[in-house]
Structures are given as structure tokens and as C-alpha cells.
Amino acid sequence: MSHERGMQDADRAEAWMAVEDYLTVTLVGEDPAQVSARESADREGLPAIEVSAPQGKLLMLLAKLTGARKVLEIGTLGGYSTIWLARGVLDGGEVVSCEYEPHHAEVARRNLDAAGVGEKVSIRVGAALETLPALAAENAGPFDLVFIDADKENNRNYVEWALKLTRPGSLIVVDNVVRSGQVLADGSGGSTQDRDIRGTRDALALLGSDERLDATAIQTVGGKGWDGFALALVK
């Protein structure tokens, strides 16, 4: 890469961040509890891979638009997106969030309680491919909205479970489906990145081919770089 191209990319990323900051202040209105959730996750050593503030508010609006009473989140991390989702469910509604790492779940629980939404959220700790069957066995669904933002290798598996746990009219959102264009790679190698690419491509193929779903995907730019999310309506 030339120095000139590198500078162009750096300038572009700086512009994306500046626009995102402007939109966050102008439209989103991130409050102190949400800022604190991000900061506490950082202090506790969690990876800084939570959704952006505009993306978080989109999740809240999707919950409101669908009239969601039950939301399923796969991948809690520090609870930042969970706060947005919990604020979007109807009165008396609930968010069930699945988190593999116990430490992440502990941080999330503190953040959720501090944000005043703790009573709306239950966190299932453990591998999601174990907790999701347990939810099905408990007849915990149907969920009105499912947000998938966990290990990408299992994205197709998560979509398949989402289909089992939803109803016609439910919405499924899959995050990080572009990853700076990496989705175009064939993922034929054995690295973690290759497995993540295969998992995401398999999930997109399922979203596009399953007759029970009507789906699209949107590319995004911002503080998280070049990425995107898929959105699917259960028919």
C-alpha cells in the first residue's frame, strides 16, 4: 500500500468517526449509564467489540417497531447492546441474553443493574449451542426479536436456533456480516478468521435460501470500520 493510499484510508476512518460522533450527539442521546457500561467493560479487559451507539439505538427502535415482548440476544459481552434492547421491549417484556464467558456475564450484570434494566434481563451463561436447546426445552419462546452477535463460526447454527425459537413476524438480526469485505473470501483455510468467514457466509446463504425468511443486508461504516448487518423477517 502506498503512503498516499494509507493516508487516504486514515483520513476516511477519521471522517467516519467524526460523523458517528455527530450522529450520536444529534440523534442518539447516549446517556451516562450507557457510557459507563462501555467504560466499565474496557476497565475489566473485555474486547471493545460492542455495537456503536447508533447501532444500539437501532436495536432499541427495532424492538419498539416489532412491539417486542421477548428478545433473545446471543452474545452479551458487557451488556451495552443488552441495555438498548431492554429499553426497547414493551412494559413487562424481557431480554434473554446468552454469554459464554462468566466474567463477561458478571460485568454485564453490574452494567444492566446500574442502567436500571436489570430486572428485565436474564443472562444464560455457557456455550450458546447448549443454552439455546435448554431455552427451547423450557418453551421460553417464541421470541419477537433475535440479535446474533457472538462467535461468527457458529452464525449459521445460531440462525437455525433462532428459527426454532421465533414465530412468523419475528425479526432476526445478525451483526458483523461484512468485516471489511472479508465476507468475499472463500474461508477455505483453517484459521479462526477462515472459520468465521465460513460461518458468516453459511449464515447468509441460509438467510437467502430458506423459504421461511425474507432477508437483506446493509453495509455500514463508522467507529467500528467497514462492516454490516443482516436483517431477516420470519414469514
Q: Render pLDDT for 167-203 as a digit per residue (tens, 0 to 9).
A: 999 999 999 999 999 999 988 888 999 999 999 999 9
Name the average pLDDT for the chain.
95
Residue 1 confidence (pLDDT) above 50: no
Q: Which of 11, 5, 3, 23 is nearest to 220 (CA)?
A: 23
Q: What pLDDT is recorded for position 7? A: 54
- pTM for this model (two decimals): 0.95
User: To which residue does cell 447448549 refer?
Assistant: 130
Residue 222 confidence (pLDDT) above 80: yes
How far is 19 from 8, CA to CA, in rounded Å?
16
The β-bridge partners of 96 are 72, 122
Q: What pLDDT is recorded for position 186? A: 86
Q: Render pLDDT for 77-90 as a digit per residue (tens, 0 to 9).
A: 999 999 999 999 99
Higher model confidence: residue 170 or residue 1? Answer: 170
Lowest mean pLDDT across 8-22, 86-100, 112-126:
8-22
Residue 2 confidence (pLDDT) above 60: no
How far is 135 from 155, CA to CA, in rounded Å?
18
Q: What pLDDT is recorded for position 6? A: 54
How far is 64 from 102, CA to CA, in rounded Å?
29
Quick one: average pLDDT of 129-151? 97
**DSSP line for 21-63:** HHHIIIII---HHHHHHHHHHHHTT--S-SPPHHHHHHHHHHH
Higher model confidence: residue 112 or residue 5? Answer: 112
Nearest 10 degrees: Cα torsion 202, 207, 209, 212: 140
Q: Is 192 left (phi over 0), alpha (psi -120 to 50) or beta?
A: alpha
CB atoms within 10 A of CB 171: 21
Strands 143-148 and 213-222: unpaired
Q: What pLDDT is recorded for position 85? A: 98
Residue 123 confidence (pLDDT) above 90: yes
Q: Render pLDDT for 35-75 as a digit per residue (tens, 0 to 9).
A: 999 999 999 999 999 999 999 999 999 999 999 999 999 99
Main-chain phi, psi angles of 125, to 5 degrees: -95, 135
Residue 3 confidence (pLDDT) above 80: no
